[in-house]
Structure 1
Amino acid sequence: MIWGVSFFLHFFWEMVQVPFFADMTGAPHWDVVWLCTRATFGDANIAIGAYAIAALICRDWFWAMSGWSRMNLSAYLAAGLMVTIILEYWATGEGQRWGYSELMPIFSWTGTGILPLAQWVFLPLVAVVVVKWMILGWLALREMNPHLSECNK
């Protein structure tokens, strides 16, 4: 669920931030959709990896369902941010994978865009809240409809 919810959230974010990347606003629509989809696969993989790191540290795969500790959230956010900083630094530098337009606000000490970093603070938090909401909703539905439990036997 983390991967799927993250995919949806990150795809939306990627499409919204198109004007902040060089040469994207003039590209054909389907080329932009394809580039954003590829980036989103990477984002969703980073999200599940960051979630797994937090799960290993707190020894609870379902940590998002229980009360969050500072350790869980710190590990989750730090893992995603570190990977993002490294990838953005490489991709806009030596990797020459993409560049920022003049609209992108940039951290001067890394040369990394602020929007990709904001993405990895805001969206992971939204993703775990949405997943928790979905699971709690499913559990409540199962309690209201006992026959649903029979289908799982």
Structure 2
Amino acid sequence: MSESFKLPFNLTWRTVLILTIASFFLNFFWEMWQMPFFTFNGEDDYWRMNWVCTKASIGDAVISLISFLVTAWVSKDVSWYRPPNMNFITIYLLVGIGITVVLEWINTAVLFNWEYKDTMPVVPVLGTGLTPIL
């Protein structure tokens, strides 16, 4: 790769790829499991449901990568998670949850891409569903 694509903090493209792919698949299974808490147009169209879950999983993988990179930037270490450090884990979680809350609001209140069913536990004040935050 050219120098203009050099990653910070000794982060390799291999690490980014592994993190992104692993995050995508873990999040895809989670998206499928939480489907009963959501409703959207064409709810009985299973291909559409799979596509919605796939797009959400891609977004979740990007959120995970952004959270990882922000935490690496703050800690100045790509291996911030070894050994576990509660300060860096907290940063990672706050970045991810913050992005998730904003995107859930955009998708439910602005774009109306989906709605929460009555069975969805909602976080008070935020109005965000609990399962997306988890």
RMSD of aligned Cα (Å): 1.5
Q: CA deviation at 1:39?
A: 0.7
Contact 1:55-1:61 within 8 A present in 2 as well: yes
In structure 2, the residue matched to 1:7 is: 24
5+ unaligned residues in a row in structure 1: which ranges? 119-153
Structure 2: stretches of 5+ with no match in the other structure: 1-17
Structure 1 residue aligned with 2:105: 89
Q: After superposition, what is the alpha-carbon deviation per residue over 1:3-51, rounded to whole angstroms, capped at 9, x for unaligned?
A: 1111111000000111100147942221111110011000000000000
**Deviation of the 1:103 alpha carbon:** 1.2
Matched, 1:51 2:68: yes
Please name the residue that 2:52 is paired with: 35
1: CA distance, partners of 2:133 / 2:106:
14
Give the TM-score taking structure 2 as reference length: 0.81
Q: How far apart are the structure 2 equivalents of 1:106 and 1:63?
A: 32
> Deviation per CA, 1:90-115, whole angstroms, max 9, x where unpaired?
22112222111111111231111011
Residue 79 of structure 2, aligned match among 24, 38, 62? 62
Q: Which runs of 4+ in 1 moved over 2 A?
A: 23-27
Structure (1/2) with the larger helix percentage: 1
1:98 matched to 2:114:
yes
Overall identity of the aligned pairs, in %: 34
Which residue of structure 2 lines up, in the alignment, with residue 141 of structure 1? none
- Structure number with bigger Rg: 1
Look up the equivalent residue of 2:87 and give its one-letter code. M
